Chains A and B, each alone.
Chain A
Amino acid sequence: MLKRTLLAATIAASFCGASQAAVDINGFASIKGGMALSNDDELYGYDDDFSFKNESLAALQVKSDLGDKLSVTAQLLGRGADDWDVKFEWAFLSYDLTDTLRVNAGRLRTPFYKYSDFRDVGYAYDWSRVPQSVYGLGFDTIEGASLYHTTTLGNFDSTLQLIIGSYDGEEEIGGTTAEAQIDNVTGVAWEVGQDGYSFRMAYLIGKSTFSINQLDTPVSGLYAQLTAFGLGALAKDLDIVDESSSFAGVGFNIDKNDWVVVSEITKATVDDSFITDQKSYYISVGHRFDTITPYVSFEKEDNTAKTELYAAIPTASPIYGAVSSVVNRQQLERDSINLGVRYDFHPSAAFKAQYTSADNKTADRKDSVLVVGVDLVF
């Protein structure tokens, strides 16, 4: 319905020559098919049945320049994995305070990573998907405001972004869906580059509250039972109520003489909770041979469960099993290797194929997946 209204407005604007508002419509799409390569393998939503739906997506963006340095942008995106239900991925207004200062307000991307802003626009990078070990944290969008400062420092181009806002949505925590809320998000991201080299750092903090049914239900939940056992302090050490949280990331990118090297290292923490410190990195190396860019990348996740939380509980205790299981589920050591290629076969489209093998040392299993597809912009 909303979509139709937008469309109507767009059509009206484009037919009405006298209209002040210049409306730009752009879009992008990724049509991808993939499957896990063995019977029991499962990775990134693929199993051993070939799926065209899992990672395909299409988006339409409408940007209207309202004049006097004000513009409004809305991006509608439908993912195959969500049955193509269309959602507003971005919706914000922009105001240019000066030539170098811009304010964006509305629904924005959380600026965790180098590719956060355009992770869905496959055409903008060589991989079939952004490295999930690093980019799989969640909390990708935020409602708030952000200030961009772009300038040159000597020979360097510098982009500084300050952001405030909050997150409210569902996230997967330790294999279960949680109602997640992060309040008072405050962050800074800075990217500086020159002639094919760039460096980026980001730091964000916030107050996290995650509610998981089995743990948080007032009477039957784990925390309620611990409190009933006289272990209110332990419940507080485990639960996630208004806990200080942080995200730190650094990364660099080299694009020189047709070599493309990218790496990011990140760490996310939620204090006083069973959520462990999540440490991840990736490094990717590719080489451009005219229209064909093969690459190889390595990813690592290394999350050590906070076993000290239940160290004082005797193993014979009736709560030991429940508490240790919640804590231990945070343990994850996983290495992934990707081999892939991008082929620019068309001015607006790229064909890509990527093979991934993930070695989950914690669960002692290896999963591999192959995906092929086309990313395009229009």
Chain B
Amino acid sequence: MLKKLILIPVLALSFMAVANVAVIVHPSNAAALSQDDINKIFTGRAKTFTDGKAAEPVNLTETVAARADFDQKALGRSSSQMKAYWSKLVFTGKGTPPKELASEQEVLDTVAKNPAAIGYVSAGAVTGNVKVALTLN
């Protein structure tokens, strides 16, 4: 209960501080990506980019604020709805959720190194080592 009371102001703060989310890929990735394409890749319904090359999505853990923003803006669902969605696939052998990384820095590093990777960070965190495929407002 106490935890919840503390959580509420923290959540309120993090919502007020909401930043745009930048979906990032490797600089060599030339594929054009719409929000729908990103939705398909992050829900396991598409395994490739629009140019046919394999896509390896990387997610953020729920402790990072950009995760909830991404789930809402790119996938149109809350993080618990996404967890329910993946539990349907995981426990029936139909799919595996994207790997979760603990920080935006790890996502930036992974995407900078792997030409197949696709991830997201808050727009202000983007560096020159990655390419912004789409910014979600």
Contacts and interface: CB of A to CB of B under 8 A. Distances in A.
* Most chain A Cβ neighbours within 10 Å, of B45, B91, B94: B91
B93 A347 contact: no
B10 interface: no
Contacts of B90: 24, 26, 61
A124 B48 contact: no
Nearest to A99: B47
B92 A109 contact: yes
A259 to B, nearest CB: 14
Contacts of A75: 91
B87 interface: yes
B52 to A, nearest CB: 10
Contact of B45 (A94, A104, A109, A157): A157
B102 interface: no
Interface string A112-156: 000001101101110000000000000000000000101010000
Chain A at the B interface: mostly helix, strand, loop or mixed?
strand
30 contacts: A24-B90, A26-B90, A26-B91, A28-B87, A61-B90, A71-B93, A92-B93, A94-B93, A104-B93, A117-B88, A117-B92, A117-B94, A118-B91, A118-B92, A121-B88, A121-B91, A123-B87, A124-B84, A124-B87, A124-B88, A125-B84, A290-B78, A291-B78, A291-B80, A344-B78, A347-B62, A347-B79, A347-B80, A348-B83, A377-B87
Interface of B: 45, 47-48, 62, 78-80, 83-85, 87-88, 90-94, 96
Given A99-B47, A104-B93, 7 more contacts: A28-B87, A61-B91, A73-B93, A124-B87, A150-B45, A347-B83, A377-B87
